[in-house]
Amino acid sequence: MLEKTIHEVSADLKAKKVSSAELTKAAMDYLEEVEPKVQAFITITRDEALKQAAEADKRLASGKDITPLTGVPVAIKDLLCTKGIRTTCASRMLENFKPPYNATVVERLYQAGAVSVGKTNMDEFAMGSSTETSFYKKTKNPWNLNCVPGGSSGGSAASVSADQAFASLGSDTGGSIRQPAALCGIVGLKPTYGRVSRYGLIAFASSLDQIGPFSKDVEDCAIMMNTIAGHDPNDSTSANLPVPDYVAEMKKSIRGLRIGIPKEFFPEGLNREVSVAVKDAIAKLQSLGAEIVEVSLPASPYGLAAYYVLAPCEASSNLARYDGVRYGLRETGENIVEMYSKTRAAGFGSEVKRRIMLGTYALSSGYYDAYYLKALKVRRLIKNDYDKAFEKVDVIATPTAPNPAFRFGEKTGDPLSMYLEDVFTVSINITGLPGLSIPCGMSKSELPIGLQLIGKAFDEATLLRTAYAYEQATPWHKQKPSLRED
């Protein structure tokens, strides 16, 4: 039962084949059974989940106001505020932080009747591509427990891949939904900037951050989007635009759809297995009626360099709030500056400190123009490239990550080698466009490979449609990890 999708289990709940209480108890038991292997959660909320399940059962019995998520267990990344439930951002800084309110996306899941099983592990303050910078634990890749799940939303990806939850929420600032989705063999969507409210998301880089879903298949992704997308007065950057019914849109044909292939995303030296799997996927889309068009995004190879100026600059400003005064850790000091400095030294891990210092440096007097302003101009050039490409095509297809899952410790010694994990994903955050990762193959060592589909602003519907057509014609989403070591 736990290996089912949301649309399958939701039908069972509606048909009274199973109650949400039974489903949730089974999900929690299994979650706890495999958790010593997967380590996907920072906080498990069994009691709250069982209470929510009882409420969902009342709603299911009444037959009124039932949504596809009513009674379905889901997981939430530990940087989304949950009222009264600690929200750590995987940092020592917020070890005991209990938010006084819910993030808008959490509120929407609750209103739909979803059951939250717990808060998932991540890179500290979402800074990382392997979930290894968490203060609490190292989440394992369910396909090979010796490998990382990707990051920063590694716990959200691993929990869905391992059937600990039917779906989950993550956040994506430079690839943090799409890359772990690719490495864990599931579907992950970063919506257009502004499509989903960021209210109650603990900020990393505010012009790049976006919340989105992880799911076992494309239909579940559409179901999650139908629940979380839409305008929110509490987030002044949330877009006041109509939201289509993604489940209905997804089922339309892709015949005649124009898919762009940017040569810059297939550089020499790209991992061969990734290159072959992605090219096969493109051929499959062509056989399904899509037209393949070559496009060029000449400034996009500079996206990573621009990102590693812009994101640390925004982070250095956002993370100034952790000063030991209103919430979080407090160390003692003789005066206030000493208290700040000792608190921040003790509360942040080394990757977070590195990025705060990088951002502070790039914004400091004398360097602002050379780094921050330059990066913002490059950001414009990158966006111009995409605008031009999207005059000719409806969707752009690329690899999600440059290689399948890597091993623990492989990239932690050299920060730059870890940053290169985001090379195919960052330009989508820089431009604010939507991007989806869908499983498209398996390496020889049985590690999943992801295809990235990039869409026009606010056109998640076409991404889901393309992904759904591909999924219907391929077996990848049906494969399950074995939670093995190598």
Partner 1 sequence: MALSEKDVQYVAKLARLEVTDQEVGKYTQQLANILDYVEQLNKLDTTNVEPLTHPLDVKNVFRPDVVKPSLTQREVLSNGPEVQSGHFKVPKIM
Q: Is 381 among the residues that bind partner 1 (CB under 8 A)?
A: yes
Strands (E), 379-482: 395-399, 435-442, 448-455
Closest to partner 1 by CB, 216 vs 379, is: 379
Q: What does the alpha-carbon distance between residue 207 and residue 317 come to, in Å, rounded to a whole number?
A: 12
| Residues of this chain, 8-67, that bind partner 1 according to CB under 8 A | none
- Minimum CB distance to partner 1 smaller for 377 or for 478: 377
Binding segment for partner 1 (CB under 8 A), chosen from 20-28, 114-122, 305-313, 469-477, is 305-313
Q: Shortest gap between Cβ of 345 and partner 1 (angstroms)?
A: 4
Give the alpha-carbon dihedral of 162, 165, 169, 173, to 10 degrees. -10
Q: How many residues does the chain have?
A: 486
The SS3 of residue 84 is: coil
CB nearer partner 1, residue 369 or residue 391: 369
What is the token pair recorded at 268?
Answer: 């020499």
Please state the closest distance from residue 375 (CB atom) to partner 1, in A.
6
Q: Which stretch binds partner 1 (CB under 8 A): 217-225, 274-282, 337-345, 394-402?
A: 337-345
Q: Which of residues 231-260 bind partner 1 (CB under 8 A)?
A: 233, 236-237, 239
Query: What are the residue numbers of the active site?
Result: 77, 152, 176
Tell me the three state secondary structure of residue 452.
strand
Write down the least CB distance from residue 285 to partner 1, Å.
27
* DSSP E strand stretches across 33-127: 41-44, 73-77, 115-120
| Cα–Cα distance for residue pair 486/140, rounded to 1 Å | 12
DSSP 319-359: GGG-SSSSSS-----SSHHHHHHHHHHHHS-HHHHHHHHHH
Strand order through the sheet with 448-455: 41-44, 115-120, 73-77, 167-172, 210-215, 187-190, 435-442, 448-455, 395-399, 258-262, 291-295
Burial of 486 (0-12, 13-18, 19+ CB in 10 A): exposed
Determine if 364 is a binding residue for partner 1 (CB under 8 A): yes
Report if residue 275 touches partner 1, rule: CB under 8 A: no
Residue whose CB is less far from partner 1, 308 or 406? 308
Residues 74-103 interacting with partner 1 (rule: CB under 8 A):
96-98, 100-101
What DSSP string runs through 287-322?
HTTPEEEEE--TTGGGHHHHHHHHHHHHHHHHGGG-
Q: Which window, 134-142, 174-182, 319-327, 461-469, contacts partner 1 (CB under 8 A)?
A: 319-327
Residue 25 CB, shortest distance to partner 1, in Å, is: 31
Exactly one of 62, 391, 416, 485 binds partner 1 (CB under 8 A); which one?
A: 416
Q: Closest Cα partner for 219 from 10, 472, 468, 483?
A: 468
Q: Name the minimum Å distance from CB 127 to partner 1.
A: 13
CA gap 7, 67 in Å, rounded? 10
Evaluate the omega torsion of the peptide bond into residue 152 and state whether it is cis, within 30 degrees of 0. yes
Beta bridge partners of 115: 73
Position 73 contacts partner 1 (CB under 8 A): no
By CB under 8 A, residue 306 contacts partner 1: yes
Quick one: 308 or 468, whose CB is closer to partner 1? 308
Distance of closest approach, residue 379 Cβ to partner 1, in angstroms: 4
Residues in 192-231 that interact with partner 1 by CB under 8 A: 193-194, 207
Strand 167-172 and strand 395-399: the pairing is unpaired
Give the residue with the Cβ less far from partner 1, 142 or 434. Answer: 434
Nearer to partner 1, 137 or 374 (CB): 374
387 lies in the site for partner 1, by CB under 8 A: no
**What is the footprint of partner 1 within residues 425-454 (CB under 8 A)?**
430-433
How many binding residues for partner 1 (CB under 8 A)? 73
Q: How far is the CB of 340 from partner 1 (least distance, A)?
A: 4
Cβ closest to partner 1, residue 247 vs residue 306: 306
Candidate ranges 117-125, 127-135, 331-339, 460-468; the one touching partner 1 (CB under 8 A): 331-339
The span from the CA of 463 to the CA of 429, in Å, is 16
Residue 450 CA to residue 471 CA, distance in Å, equals: 12
| Per CB under 8 A, 7 contacts partner 1 | no
Q: Is 337 in the site for partner 1 (CB under 8 A)?
A: yes
Q: Which of 125, 340, 390, 468 binds partner 1 (CB under 8 A)?
A: 340
The number of beta carbons lying within 10 Å of the beta carbon of residue 253 is 11
